[in-house]
Chain A
């Protein structure tokens, strides 16, 4: 048991270190493109860390997390849009370009949305839950398409990246470090939550709801809270993603995006703290490097993913760090 624990800790530290070292190396080699690739890995990992809380620990297989990812992105995009135009939001609120205000707004809005979606969706279970979360995400997607003020189908460009106090968010390395810090913060927060009393209740909800109710804990509020926390983290990742790309559009809300975030989590290892990082890193690197060799990269990516599912139970973390530890 202890060996497995140590091995997983070593793998985790290595992953965290590699992600931090990659852009430094890129800078030294004067290949700035890799900084943005590493930033993308950090942000999408954070989105996966959010989903993992619901899916991996709470057993709620959400196929609609793009709703939160995209809404987070739109908060950043809409702020930048009004700031650029010098207009007010709905003619009521003054625009801001301060990320320290934008992030909490994205988080709170996604939390509120998750309460609404969760209240309805958590009445269902299994495949029905997968599909009803998809349904709600699709509704948000078409809402995104139908608001011409914010770009409709074309999306919204972010001409000027929103700002942080003291440091410059425009500098690629600084922006990477900010995203990296938020990713590590997200992982740390997850680990605290999972180890807490709430975490024990949430994981029991996944394993056996009857058990949870039998000891006197109502499952519904536990699951709803887990779902909301999960959505908040993914929403923050969405806000960062929009800033990185200088763009937010309906594609951030699409079901492809929900599927992709889910793939990161499963590929990395469901219910493993660093699983989303392992999964997102592998997926994005494969996409990038195979894409460098051949236009048919999707074919080979598919084969590799298939190989991982068939031959590595428990995803990448299961493969390199052994079985999940439950004591």
Chain B
């Protein structure tokens, strides 16, 4: 028996006449990498936004760890164990990479309403943050100001911040973009190694990575999930070929 981490039922979200999310059903099991693919503008990031809490759905259910999370804020969902990275990085740009991770460690460890003890003399906090940076291969850039990191490095930093939360589920929005071939391969291996520890909902355009990593794939087109299945099922689905892969060839 696997545990269901995330379960989405009948989710709908419109912006005016545009149906960005149209009756989406989706689930992520523990120990699973579930990839979400689809052409640009299919509503993938909108879906992630609703799961993480920045966007409110019009209709439907989002259950995380068996709890209805729609009424909960972004921060509450994060504290329940929902980590995410953004398609366009969203970090504290004026401070170092390390400080970004420290903030995440501090948030998981407990209260941020401590006014006296200095963060820089809190060795436990620093060590833990360094461990997460090492895992994503950013240890050498720990002291670099975030705005001076490359786009690829910023994505990795977001993954490090998300991991520092010790999440149950990771929502990764195109983590490979801007990494280059070597970087993508390393990140692919790293995500593979994370599987035991955390479920992942992965949005990715790099099809090699998706086919290598995913246990299941859902294909999103115009806000609708047209197919969900294993890598082989998706490769063979005529519907997917027509709606999505066909367009790319």
Contact = CB atoms under 8 A, between A and B. Distances in A.
29 contacts: A193-B115, A196-B117, A197-B106, A197-B111, A197-B113, A197-B119, A198-B114, A200-B103, A200-B106, A204-B92, A208-B93, A211-B100, A213-B73, A213-B74, A213-B75, A213-B78, A214-B52, A215-B78, A216-B107, A217-B103, A217-B107, A217-B112, A218-B73, A218-B75, A218-B76, A221-B113, A225-B113, A326-B95, A326-B99
A219 B244 CA distance: 40
A203 B93 CA distance: 11
Given A192-B118, A195-B118, A213-B78, A207 B104 contact: no
A233 interface: no
> How large, as a class, is the contact surface on chain A?
20 to 34
B99 A200 contact: yes
Contacts of B54: 210
B45 to A, nearest CB: 13
B230 interface: no
B108 interface: yes
B145 interface: yes
A195 B95 CA distance: 13
A195 B116 CA distance: 8
Interface of A is mostly: helix
B102 interface: yes
A58 B141 CA distance: 26
B188 interface: no
B112 A197 contact: yes
A70 B120 CA distance: 37
Given A195-B119, A218-B73, A207 B52 contact: no
A193 B115 CA distance: 5
B103 A201 contact: yes
B114 A196 contact: yes
A225 to B, nearest CB: 7
For the complex of A and B, the 6 pairs showing the least CB-CB separation, nearest first, are A216-B78, A213-B74, A218-B75, A216-B79, A201-B112, A215-B107
> How large, as a class, is the contact surface on chain B?
35 or more
A327 B100 contact: no
A250 B152 CA distance: 55
Contacts of A199: 115, 119
Contact of B91 (A198, A211, A216, A225): A211
A211 B118 contact: no
A215 B104 contact: yes
Interface in A2-50: none
Contacts of B119: 195-197, 199-200
A201 B113 CA distance: 9
Name the residue among A204, A213, A215 with the largest chain B CB count within 10 angstroms: A215
A222 interface: yes
B164 to A, nearest CB: 8
Given A203-B95, A326-B145, A198 B115 contact: yes
Interface of A: 192-193, 195-201, 203-204, 207-208, 210-219, 221-222, 225, 326-327
B149 to A, nearest CB: 14
B115 A192 contact: yes
Interface string B109-147: 001111111111000000000000000000000010100
B116 A192 contact: yes
A121 to B, nearest CB: 20
Contacts of A215: 78, 103-104, 107-108, 161, 164-165
Given A212-B103, A214-B78, 20 more contacts: A196-B119, A197-B111, A198-B113, A200-B106, A203-B92, A207-B93, A207-B95, A208-B93, A210-B90, A214-B52, A214-B84, A216-B108, A217-B75, A218-B73, A218-B75, A222-B112, A225-B113, A326-B95, A327-B96, A327-B143
Contacts of A203: 92, 95
Name the residue among A193, A210, A222 with the largest chain B CB count within 10 angstroms: A210
Nearest to B109: A197
B68 interface: no
Contacts of B74: 210, 213-214
B132 to A, nearest CB: 12
B189 interface: no
B206 interface: no
Nearest to A213: B74
B90 A214 contact: yes
Nearest to A197: B114
B156 to A, nearest CB: 15
B208 interface: no
Nearest to A219: B75
A283 B227 CA distance: 68
A195 B90 contact: no
Name the residue among A200, A212, A214, A218 with the largest chain B CB count within 10 angstroms: A214
Contact of A197 (B96, B104, B117): B117
Contacts of A218: 73, 75-76
A198 B74 CA distance: 19
